[in-house]
Amino acid sequence: MKNVKEEKEKMEDDGKIPTVFVTSLITDTHLYEMIHKSGVSSFATLRFSDGFIGTATEIEYQGALYVPCRTADIVAFVRLPESVGEYESQAELIDDIKRFIKKWVVIDDDYLTLVCYYILFSWVYDAFFEVPYLRILADLGSGKTRLGVHVLGQLLYKPIPITAASSISSIFRILDLVKGTLIVDEADIDDSDKSSEFVQVINSGYTKNGIVLRTVGIGPMMHSKPFSVFGPKLIISREHFKDQALESRCLPIIMHEARGANIPLVLNGTLYSEGQKLRNKLLKWRLTQFTTAGKNMDMSFTEFDVATRFKQLFLLLSSVVSHEAKDMLRAYAMKIQKESVSRRRETAEGEIVQIIVDALPATEVSCTYISELFNREREKKEERSPQSIGWYARERLGLETVRISSGEEKGRRAVKINLELIHSLAQKYGIQIRESTPEIPFA
């Protein structure tokens, strides 16, 4: 095997420039997008200076030759436009997308509108520093895979369909190569180690500087290489993730089993031919909207009464949402804010806060007492010891624990009540504070 360094030096001596395979490229003057038709790949191009749209077969840029990715590498599973399509207006394009989706799946109208605008956002995501994720939650037989993989997989920007059973290495490598929309089906992972690594990779892709660092090469040529995992993601599963950070980055879509619906039971070629036409139109939308994307965010969403993370999500999405759809977006924001608070209240942290709130106006609450109430009607494996309760209080809730100075529990740990922090936690977990007298004595 020839030394990689020697190969590079020989190439430079021969006057050749390195070839780089890409599906898209943004330079100082142009935007390039890979298109593929009848076995031939090329680039659709946008010239920033005057908005001219053309085509190219290769690009010389900064000492390298950029060419379309080998078709065998990605065309088999990443659906690309064939050409630059035409459409009359964004409203017409949204209507076409809605009709296409409703032809194949049953979905509530509010969710349908949200999905349509997320599709648009995915086509200009790289004009932003952060991206929200789309989340389909549903049980078996609800059509979640049909919606996510087969229908939205026709329309999202450079869709990359995988299952969570895929290796972590394959996920971050294909994201770095394609720089498209990751669609993860069956994202309910039982293996805690793999789940943790999967969540870390997905969480890293929320911002433009999100990378996965890996060692590549052999022997003395080994070096660290960053793989970009930034981009929109559609995650399909039956249950919420335990990782609250990941859940807070998602726009959830809830689906239910649709019986008696007038939709085809079996997918056919019409899905793919109609999807191809819409992808061509969406490419035109990307080329005409890219330079202004990110400049049209509705700053009124910064004043909206939802959690900061949700404000970020909806502020990003507001850049592509029509004026008429913004009321829907605000109503949806309030809905998922309420659902998020409800889920947090049901976590271990939420239950601990509830027990502490019920103990007010005590100044200290014994960890043993909290543990006893927490463990009622729980299976053994789900119980929490007083030591564990103290850890949750300190590390997860930011509360102080102290030694009890008198009484039967002298020397044991108690949670010290900081009223300002307790009020803040109660609001976060959707718990109402009321004045009450505890039924047992506290230190």
pTM metric for this prediction: 0.82
pLDDT of residue 15: 59
Q: What is the pLDDT of residues 373-432, one digit of tens each?
A: 999 978 888 899 999 999 999 999 999 999 998 888 888 999 999 999 999 999 888 888
pLDDT at 442 over 80: no
Three-state secondary-structure class, residue 139: coil
What are the percentages of helix, strand and coil residues in the chain, rounded to 5?
45, 20, 35
Asked if the domains 90-343 and 346-428 are classified in one and the same CATH topology, the answer is no
Is pLDDT at 257 greater than 90 in this prediction?
no
Neighbouring C-beta atoms of residue 190, cutoff 10 Å: 6
Tell me the mean pLDDT in the region 338-358: 88
- Under CATH, which number does the domain 346-428 receive? 1.10.10
> Amino acid identity, residue 247?
E
- Specify the higher pLDDT residue, 372 or 265: 372
Name the CATH code of domain 90-343 (choices 3.40.980.10, 3.40.50.300, 3.40.109.10, 3.90.650.10): 3.40.50.300
pLDDT for res 14: 57
Domain ranges of the chain: 4-70, 90-343, 346-428
Reported as a single tens digit per residue, the pLDDT across 93-151 is 999 999 999 999 999 888 999 999 999 999 999 999 999 999 998 877 778 899 999 99
The Cα 319–Cα 298 span in angstroms is: 7
pLDDT above 70 coverage of the chain, percent: 91
Long-range contacts of 389-396 (CB under 8 A, 24+ apart): 389/352, 389/415, 390/415, 392/348, 392/349, 392/352, 393/352, 393/367, 396/349
